[in-house]
Amino acid sequence: MTPFAGLLIFVTVSCFVAGQILLKHAMDIMARPRFSRVRATVVFATAIVVFAANFFINIGLLQRFDLSYFFPFQGMSVILIAFVGAYVLRERLTLRLTIGSAVISLGVIFVSLS
């Protein structure tokens, strides 16, 4: 795997995480009794753009890599969500999250070396 491909994998996983968080944020805005339609639309549209970027970069990567090679990298999205969640919510990462993240990272290293 070239550094550029590695960078694209990181970007696509980050886009997926950002898209999920933005989509949820848009839903939360719309669930309020009084909400700004403009703000909800902007957040929702940004989520769609970010998901589209994730989708097209995925296709570009799948044109070069086996699915069984590329797919496990998506497990990193869970680590990113956990870290972003802990940072935004100002919660400490639990021991279970830390161990699980380390195991996923080790798995991704094994796959990237295969």
Partner 1 sequence: MIGSLRHWFFNPWVQLAICVLLATAAEIFLKLGAAATADSDNAWSWTGFTGLRSGWVWWGILASVVSLFNWLATLRKLPLTIAFPVGNAVHILVPLSSWLFLGEAILPRRGIGIALVLLGLMIVAKPAASLEAKL
The residues of the shown chain that bind partner 1, judged by CB under 8 A, are 8, 20-21, 24, 55-64, 66-69, 71-72, 75, 78-79, 81-82, 84-86, 88-89, 91, 94, 96-97, 99-114
Amino acid at 107: G
Nearer to partner 1, 37 or 96 (CB): 96
Nearer to partner 1, 41 or 91 (CB): 91
Q: Which two tokens stand for residue 72?
A: 């496990």
Nearer to partner 1, 32 or 66 (CB): 66
Please tell me whether residue 1 adopts helix, strand or coil conformation.
coil
Phi–psi pair at 94, nearest 5 degrees: -75, 165
What's the CA gap between 95 and 48, in Å, rounded? Answer: 34
In the complex, the smallest distance separating the C-beta of residue 110 from partner 1, rounded to whole angstroms, is: 3
In the complex, the smallest distance separating the C-beta of residue 29 from partner 1, rounded to whole angstroms, is: 13
